[in-house]
C-alpha cells in the first residue's frame, strides 16, 4: 500500500494497493481527487508499476497523467466512481420529496494518510461538503473504508462477505448526518467505466442459506463481462442489506435496493483519476453505466433514530465469490427430504409383506 506515491504533500488523496502474483499483478488506485473513485487494473506482468505525473494530474487537463508501466502488460482495466448522494422523504399526498443533492466531487476530504494501517491493510477516506447551507453535516461525515486482503476468507462483521486475495472490500458509512426530513431515505449513485469490449450486467441471486447473514437471502453482483459473454472480467458484489449500528446485529438491518443499471448520458466529474487514466477514450469508446443504491424501508426510521448507516461491498477481478451451502443447511435439508422418503419406503415394504401373508378361517388338520 502506497500513499501519494511520488508526491510529498497530503492536500490530495491517492492510495495505491498492489497485489503481486507469480505471473501477474493487480492494481487498485483509490482517490478523492474529483469524486471518490477506484481504478482497477489487471496486468500479466508480476513487476508492473503505477506511474503518476502529479503536475498533470492536478492540472485542469489530467488526461494521461496515470498509467501502468509497461503499458502492454495491461489486460483489463475498469473504474468505479461514487458521484452523488441523494436524500428524499415519502410524504403524503405529494409522494417523494427530494432535497438538494450532495455532489461528492465538491466534498472536502481529510487526509487518508492518518488512517492508513499497513498491517491490517485498511484505510479510511472521510469528508463533508465544502459548503453546507442546510447544516446536515455539522456533526456528521461521509466515509469510505477500504480493506485489502492477502488471502481468502470472510469478514468478521456483518454482512460477513466472502472474499478472495483478488478482491478488496469497501464500506460506505454515513455517520451523524442530520436528515432533512421525517423518514428520510438516502440513495448513493455509483458509476462504472468500461473500455470497449466489456459490458456491465446486474445479477441477483437468492439462496435458502443465510448462515452468515441472518434473514438476508439475496446477493447482488454487478458483473463486467466480455461482450460475447465468454468470460467474467470483474465484479462488484454486496448483500441486500445495510446496517444502522457501528457493531451491526441482525436487528440493525436497513433495507438495501438496487434501482436498475442504466447507460449514463452524462459525463463524470472533471479532474479525477478516471480522466487521468482513460484520457480521451472516456468520451468516445468507453461505456459509462450508473446504478442507484437506496437505503431504507417504508418507515425509514432506523437511520432517523441512530444516525448511522453502513453498506459493505466487495470489488475485484474475475468471478465473484460464491458461498457454499453450510453443513447446517445440508443437514436440515437431508432430514426434511430423507424422513418422508424413509417413511415411504417403510410403508411400501409393509404393504408388500402384508400381501404375501395368507390368512384362513380354518384350523390346520393334524
pLDDT string in tens for the chain (366-residue length): 999 999 998 899 999 999 999 999 999 999 999 999 999 999 999 999 999 999 999 998 999 999 999 999 999 999 999 999 999 887 665 667 889 999 999 999 999 999 999 999 999 999 999 999 989 999 999 999 999 999 999 999 999 999 999 999 999 999 999 998 877 889 999 999 999 989 999 999 988 777 888 888 899 999 999 988 778 999 999 999 999 999 999 888 999 999 889 988 777 776 589 999 999 888 788 999 999 999 986 545 678 888 999 999 999 999 999 877 555 555 665 566 667 777 888 788 878 777 766 555 666 676
163 lies in the same domain as 213: yes
Is residue 224 a part of any domain in this protein? yes
Is residue 154 a part of any domain in this protein? yes
Report how far residue 322's alpha carbon sits from residue 313's, in angstroms, rounded to the nearest whole number.
14
Is residue 303 a part of any domain in this protein? yes
208 lies in the same domain as 288: yes
How many beta carbons lie within 10 A of that of residue 317, not counting itself? 23
Nearest to 293 by CA among 349, 246, 333, 238: 238
Query: Do residues 40 and 66 touch, judged by C-beta distance below 8 A?
Result: no
Domain count, the chain: 2
116 lies in the same domain as 181: yes
Is residue 3 a part of any domain in this protein? no
Is residue 11 a part of any domain in this protein? no
Domain hosting residue 104, numbered range: 79-266+283-317
Q: What does the buried/exposed string (b/e) look like for 209-227 if buried means 16 or more CB atoms within 10 Å of the residue's CB? A: ebebbeebebbbbbbbbee
The residues, any chain, with a CB within 8 Å of residue 238's CB and separated by 6 or more, are: 159, 161, 219, 220, 256, 311, 312, 313, 314
Instruction: State the cell numbers at 191.
Output: 458509476
Is residue 67 a part of any domain in this protein? no
Report how far residue 169's alpha carbon sits from residue 160's, in angstroms, rounded to the nearest whole number.
11
pTM of the shown model: 0.87
Q: How many residues does the chain have?
A: 366
Amino acid at each position: 500500500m502506497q500513499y501519494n506515491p511520488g508526491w510529498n504533500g497530503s492536500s490530495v488523496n491517492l492510495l495505491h494497493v498492489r497485489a503481486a502474483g507469480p505471473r501477474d499483478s493487480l492494481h487498485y488506485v483509490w482517490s478523492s481527487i474529483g469524486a471518490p473513485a477506484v481504478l482497477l487494473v489487471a496486468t500479466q506482468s508480476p513487476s508492473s508499476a503505477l506511474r503518476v505525473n502529479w503536475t498533470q494530474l492536478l492540472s485542469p487537463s489530467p488526461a494521461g497523467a496515470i498509467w501502468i508501466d509497461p503499458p502492454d502488460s495491461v489486460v483489463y482495466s475498469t473504474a468505479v466512481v461514487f458521484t452523488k448522494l441523494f436524500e428524499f422523504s415519502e410524504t403524503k399526498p405529494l409522494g417523494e420529496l427530494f432535497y438538494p443533492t450532495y455532489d461528492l466531487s465538491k466534498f472536502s476530504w481529510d487526509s487518508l494518510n492518518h488512517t492508513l494501517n499497513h498491517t491490517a491493510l485498511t484505510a479510511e477516506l472521510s469528508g463533508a461538503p465544502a459548503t453546507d447551507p442546510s447544516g446536515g453535516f455539522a456533526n456528521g461525515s461521509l466515509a469510505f473504508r477500504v480493506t485489502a486482503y492477502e488471502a481468502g476468507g470472510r469478514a468478521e462483521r456483518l454482512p460477513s462477505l466472502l472474499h478472495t486475495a483478488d478482491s478488496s472490500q469497501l464500506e460506505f458509512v454515513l455517520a451523524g448526518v442530520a436528515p432533512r426530513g421525517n423518514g428520510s431515505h438516502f440513495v448513493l449513485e455509483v458509476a462504472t467505466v468500461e473500455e470497449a469490449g466489456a459490458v456491465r450486467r446486474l445479477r441477483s441471486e437468492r439462496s435458502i442459506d443465510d448462515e452468515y447473514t441472518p434473514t438476508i437471502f439475496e446477493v447482488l453482483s454487478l458483473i463486467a463481462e466480455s461482450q460475447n459473454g465468454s468470460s467474467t472480467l470483474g465484479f462488484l458484489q454486496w448483500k441486500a442489506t445495510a446496517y444502522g449500528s457501528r457493531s451491526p446485529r441482525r436487528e440493525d438491518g436497513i433495507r438495501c435496493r438496487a434501482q436498475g443499471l442504466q447507460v449514463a448520458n452524462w459525463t463524470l466529474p472533471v479532474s479525477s483519476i478516471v480522466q487521468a487514466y482513460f484520457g480521451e477514450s472516456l468520451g468516445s469508446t468507453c461505456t459509462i453505466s450508473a446504478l442507484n443504491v437506496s437505503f431504507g424501508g417504508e418507515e425509514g426510521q432506523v437511520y432517523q433514530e441512530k444516525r448511522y448507516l453502513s453498506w459493505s461491498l466487495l470489488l475485484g477481478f474475475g468471478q465473484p465469490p460464491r458461498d457454499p451451502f453450510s453443513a447446517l443447511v445440508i443437514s436440515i435439508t437431508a432430514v426434511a427430504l430423507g424422513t418422508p422418503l424413509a417413511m415411504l419406503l417403510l410403508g411400501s415394504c409393509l404393504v408388500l409383506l402384508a400381501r404375501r401373508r395368507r390368512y384362513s378361517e380354518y384350523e390346520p388338520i393334524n
